[in-house]
Amino acid sequence: MPAGQIVKAISGFYYVRTPEGEEIQCRARGVFKFKKKKLTPLVGDNVEFEMTGLGEGVVTSVQPRQTELLRPPIANVEQAVVVCSLREPDFQQMPVDRFLVHGEREGLTIVICLTKRDLVSDDREVEQIRAIYEPAGYPVLATSIHTQVGLDQLKEHLNGRVSVLAGQSGVGKSSLLNRLLPGYQLQTGTVSQKLGRGRHTTRQVELLPLPSGGQVADTPGFSQLSFQGFEPGELSDYFPEFAEHAACCRFRGCLHGNEPGCEVREAVERQEIHQERYHNYLQFLDEIKQQQRRY
């Protein structure tokens, strides 16, 4: 039976690319079977399909996934490039930390990509952001599509990997891809001056081949990520800078809130863990607890 990879999904159609490079427009056969298994085909899935006509077919099975993100909805990526702008809109740490938690939960390699470096007069803001995330093990790249700064570094991180670009609307994901993918001209948008955030220009997830090897997915911008299905005790595992300190907490199962002898909290007080990262951890923890009470 023919096999391939879903590279795009639009309005119930799945576009499957075969190893020979042919793209087959498919629907999912036995859609109720997929629903019963709570399995919806995603971009990035490796599938089997049957031909039903010229360039058309039906997806008959989905192979086991290595990774899965629900927002953006994509499977089998190895790396997430979290894209955030320095200006227009201004850098916001909260949505970055939210996505980092989701990426860590899936075991993805994560790179933080700052865009619109040309709109910032000096390096101080970039260095402040690096001081937050590099101690947690995240590479931080500062890029500009106008001056070309940082683009070669980004290409090095993308080469040979299956990556997803993820971030809020208006931060410059599609503009970056237009620079990285000669021949592609993805639609780009402007930032609303009234709302201070970008307008959605990418409408669906699409997995694109890179000239030097690997694949990269452009995705719609997101405004919020929830923690539905998370347990309070797992959250600290997704803040890598907590690990060494958490092992020294007085009580097993410490949630690093008000518990006595919490080494994580003491590390925050010693400025060994960034205060804002810890503040966001506590907010996420409260959200998880609130969700559990509701359900």
Secondary structure class of 252 (helix, strand, coil): coil
Residue 224, domain member (yes or no): no
Is 172 labelled as part of a ligand binding site? yes
The CATH number that applies at residue 102 is 3.40.50.300
pLDDT greater than 90 at residue 189: no
Sequence-ordered alpha helix ranges (H) in 184-246: 243-246
Q: Which structural domain, as residue segments, surrounds residue 245?
A: 232-294
38 is in an annotated binding site: no
The predicted model scores a pTM of: 0.88
The verdict on whether residue 116 carries a ligand-binding annotation is yes
For the chain, what is the domain count?
3
Whether 200 has a pLDDT exceeding 50, the answer reads: no
Domain boundary among 16, 40, 62: 62
pLDDT tops 70 at residue 49: yes
Asked whether residue 6 carries a pLDDT value surpassing 70, the answer given is yes
Half-sphere exposure of 280 (CA within 13 A, CB side): 19
pLDDT digits (tens, 9 = 90+) for 130-183: 999 999 999 999 999 999 999 999 999 999 999 999 988 889 998 999 998 877
Same domain, 285 and 144: no
In one letter, which amino acid is 277?
R
- Cα dist. 85→18, 113, 126, 130, 176 in Å? 36, 8, 11, 14, 11
State whether 144 and 207 are in the same domain: yes
Q: d(Cα 100, Cα 111) in Å, to the nearest integer? A: 9
Question: Would residue 226 count as lying in a domain?
Answer: no
Task: State residue 162's pLDDT score.
Answer: 96
Pair (123, 181) in one structural domain: yes
**According to the annotation, is 115 in a ligand binding site?**
yes
In a domain, 77, yes or no: yes
pLDDT greater than 50 at residue 3: yes
pLDDT band of 198, cuts 50, 70, 90: very low
Please compute the mean of the pLDDT values over residues 13-42 and round it to a whole number: 85
Q: Whose structure tokens read 């969700």?
A: 291
> Has 169 been labeled as part of a binding site?
yes
Return the pLDDT at 72: 82
Do 186 and 247 share a domain, yes or no? no
If one compares 182 and 25, the residue with the highest pLDDT of the two is 25
173 assigned to a ligand binding site: yes
Residue 232 predicted with pLDDT over 80: yes
Lowest mean pLDDT among 36-50, 103-117, 155-169, 218-232: 218-232
- Is position 152 annotated in a ligand binding site? no
Q: Is 195 helix (H, G, I), strand (E, B) or coil?
A: coil
pLDDT of residue 13: 95
Q: Which amino acid is present at 71?
A: R
Going by pLDDT thresholds of 50, 70 and 90, the confidence category of residue 39 is confident
pLDDT at 203 (0 to 100): 63
CATH number at residue 268: 1.10.40.50
Residue 63 in marked binding region: no
Same domain, 214 and 72: yes
Give me the amino acid identity at 140.
V
According to the model, what pLDDT value does residue 191 have?
46
Token pair, residue 38, equals: 């709570």
Angle at 202 between CA 228 and CA 129, to 5 degrees: 65
pLDDT tier at 188, thresholds 50, 70, 90: low
pLDDT attached to residue 33: 62
118 labelled ligand-binding: yes
Residues 251 and 141 in one domain: no
Residue carrying structure tokens 């000096």: 122
φ, ψ for residue 209, nearest 5 deg: -75, 140
Angle at 80 between CA 205 and CA 290, to 5 degrees: 90
